[in-house]
Amino acid sequence: MFSTLKQWIQAKRNTGSGIDTDNLPTPKTAGEQDLFNARLIVLDLETTGLNTSKDEVIAIGAVAIEKGAIYLNDQFDLILRRPDLDIRETVLIHGIGPEALTQGQETKEALVHLLEWMNGDPILAYHAEFDKRFLERTLKAQLGYSLSHVWMDVAELLPAVFPKADPKGRGLDHWSDLFGLEVSERHHAAADAMVTAELTLVALNAARKSNVKTLKDLSQKLRYQRRLQKMKRF
């Protein structure tokens, strides 16, 4: 993956075209695509804090799900080069220090590459709203990119598919404990994306059995789940 990114950047430089934001893949909508065959992106970001309007993205990890499996040769794992950022508050959580941020990937290049790699496919994340806001704001600020992608929240998907499950909490750790999954390195963007993707595999497997066949079916199920949650609250 790293080597492909380097090759990609090299190719861009050689053609002299610089960064090309005009010919990026168009985001797909959640239509009649077969859920099993569609490629899904599972993504996780590490940031300098929790404030979506002030804090910044420092690392991006993502894997792709296709035909019910996670392919290790189709993943995204990098730290951005943002030496200017203040990471004092969060360095202990994600372990990304100032030195790593100096040696990271050039941000604009990395983001364009991410968009190309995602290929407009639907993006799943745990507490997706958080990642969505961060990524959208960063894309807008760095590239002036504002196309909206289909996002789905794995934190919603899991209780929707396993209504009877009792994960003793609503966090990623609670669900991964429930299914006995191990996170190789918690708060590492790629490792968190991996365990989120594993939970997604489990959820999609169960969803298929309850007649959820297309991306549209899935997004409807999630919408219904959100409404159910709201009703419960009132």
3-state secondary structure (DSSP) of residue 44: strand
Q: Is 191 in the site for another protein (CB under 8 A)?
A: yes
CB-based contacts of 70, cutoff 8 Å, min separation 6: 63, 64, 194, 197, 198, 201
- Phi (first) and psi of residue 122, to 5 degrees: -55, 145
Residue 110 binds to another protein (criterion: CB under 8 A): no
Q: How far is the CB of 107 from another protein (least distance, A)?
A: 19
**Look-up of token digits 């750790």:** 173
* 25 contacts 116 by C-beta, under 8 angstroms: yes
Of the two residues 71 and 224, which places its CB atom closer to another protein in the complex?
71
Residue from 63, 118, 128, 158 in contact with another protein (CB under 8 A): 63
CB-CB contact of 161 with 207 (8 Å) = yes
212 binds another protein (CB under 8 A): no
Report the residue from 36, 145, 162, 179 that binds another protein according to the rule CB under 8 A: 179
Indicate the Cα dihedral angle 221, 223, 225, 227, nearest 10°. -140
Q: Does 206 bind another protein (CB under 8 A)?
A: yes
On whether the CB atoms of residues 150 and 219 are closer than 8 A, the answer is yes
Minimum Å distance from CB 34 to another protein? 17
| Residue 181 interacts with another protein (CB under 8 A): yes or no | yes
What is the nearest approach in angstroms of another protein to the Cβ of residue 77?
Answer: 4
Q: How far is the CB of 21 from another protein (least distance, A)?
A: 26
Question: Rule CB under 8 A: is residue 109 a binding residue for another protein?
Answer: no
Check binding of 220 to another protein (CB under 8 A). Answer: no
- Closest to another protein by CB, 115 vs 202, is 202
Burial 179-193 (b: 16+ CB within 10 A, else e): bebebeeebbbbbbb
Residue type at 92 in one-letter notation: L
Q: Which residues bind another protein (CB under 8 A)?
A: 1-3, 6, 61, 63, 68-73, 75, 77, 179-181, 184-185, 188, 190-191, 193-194, 198, 201-202, 205-206, 209
